Amino acid sequence: MKRFAAVFWSLLFLSVPVLGVATFIVGPAYDIWLPRDVSEHGAAVDGLFYFILVLTGVVFIATEMVLFWFIWKYDESKSNGPGRYVHGSHTLEVVWTIIPAAVLLFLAIYQMNTWADVKMRRPNMSPTVEVVGRQFEWRLRYPGRDGMLGTPDDLHLVNDLHLPIDEDILIQLKSMDVLHSFFLPNVRIKQDAVPGMKIPVWFKAREEGVFDIVCAELCGWGHYKMKGRVTFEPREAFDRWLERKYAEQEATQPTGSEATMTSRAAARPALFARNEPL
């Protein structure tokens, strides 16, 4: 009976590494893996992920095997005497502190470059779009023809972010009320939107497509559905889309055909000319 218990528990613990490794092998076949990456820096980020995965995976499997072995071998049925009190091995403790510390230090240095690319080396450009998180939507503001945010020709939208591919994108991230987190899974970008702060987020997309924007910081009852949509498209399509949306925004007549709206908007002067006092 006692042997059965030992076998049962040791096999149970063995199933953890076995199933764990199995899910990682089988998962990608069922599309349960990292989302498709369309960004420029994504490969470096994913590379780091794989490196750490392999490193920790090896250690994990090793330690689990040792655990299994000990439970299997040293069970109650095999020894009758009292447990021996052991003071421990000082050497062993030192070894298995130093090695992980060294590994961590290595990782910290190894990833610095990628971190700097994503979080520190901001491209010198004005924002392509301002994204403001608000319960429970993403409010967008494009600078408009004058290239400046905060002027009357800005384009205001909600949840429907369009961006050009193969160009540096700089997003100015703000929050209107509480903490949110601007998460583009397919571009490997995640940045908390902190109320009161203007946080730059930059990346470059390499492929076209329509992907999700999700909120990654609990912000209230609607956090689960605070989703947006980002569309990456070539520059000409992006410009055309901007023009069309701007014409809709400046509409002075109930919606007619797109052509008339665009032409009407182009004909009307901008709300203000640059640098003219009121």
Partner 1 sequence: MKMLVRTLDMEYETVSAFAAQAGFKTPSGDLIRRDTRGHLSSGLFPVWVLGGVAVVLLLLTTTGCGKTAAASYRLNMVESAKQRLKPEQEQQVATILAALFGTPDEPIAPSECGLDAAKLHLAAGPVRSDIVGRKNGLYREHCAHCHGVTGDGMGPTAAFLNPYPRDYRPGVFKFKSTERADKPTHADLVMVLRNGLAGSSMPSFALLSDAKIDALSEYVKYLSIRGEVELALMRAFFELDDEDQGRLPEDREFLIEEIVLPVAEAWQAAEDALIDVPEMAADIDMAASIAKGKELFYGNKANCVKCHGVTGLGDGQVNDYDDWNKVVLQAQKTVQGGIEQAGEASTWDMDADEAVEHRAELAWLDRFQKVLEGNALPPRTIRPRNLRQGIYRGGMRPLDLYYRIHAGINGAPMPAAKGTVPPEDIWHIVNYIRSLPYDFNGTLGVDKPMVARDRL
What residues line the site for partner 1 (CB under 8 A)?
Answer: 135-137, 139, 146, 148-152, 156, 158-160, 196, 221-222, 227-229, 248-254, 264, 267-272, 274-278
**Smallest gap from residue 89 Cβ to partner 1 (A):** 23
C-alpha distance across the termini of the chain, in Å: 92
**Smallest gap from residue 7 Cβ to partner 1 (A):** 21
For partner 1, the closer CB: 42 or 228: 228
For partner 1, the closer CB: 206 or 245: 245
For partner 1, the closer CB: 71 or 230: 230
For partner 1, the closer CB: 77 or 97: 77
Compute the residue count for the chain: 278
- With CA atoms as reference, report the closest residue to 162 among 243, 259, 271: 243
For partner 1, the closer CB: 51 or 224: 224
**Smallest gap from residue 174 Cβ to partner 1 (A):** 8
**Smallest gap from residue 47 Cβ to partner 1 (A):** 32
CB burial of 98-119 (b: ≥16 within 10 Å; e: otherwise) equals eeeeeeeeeeeeebeebeeebe
**Smallest gap from residue 278 Cβ to partner 1 (A):** 5
**Smallest gap from residue 238 Cβ to partner 1 (A):** 18
What are the helix (H) ranges across the chain? 2-26, 42-73, 90-110, 112-119, 235-249, 258-267
For partner 1, the closer CB: 47 or 195: 195
CA distance 88 to 140: 60
Tell me if 230 sits within 8 A of 213, measured CB to CB. Answer: yes
- With CA atoms as reference, report the closest residue to 136 among 242, 70, 222: 222
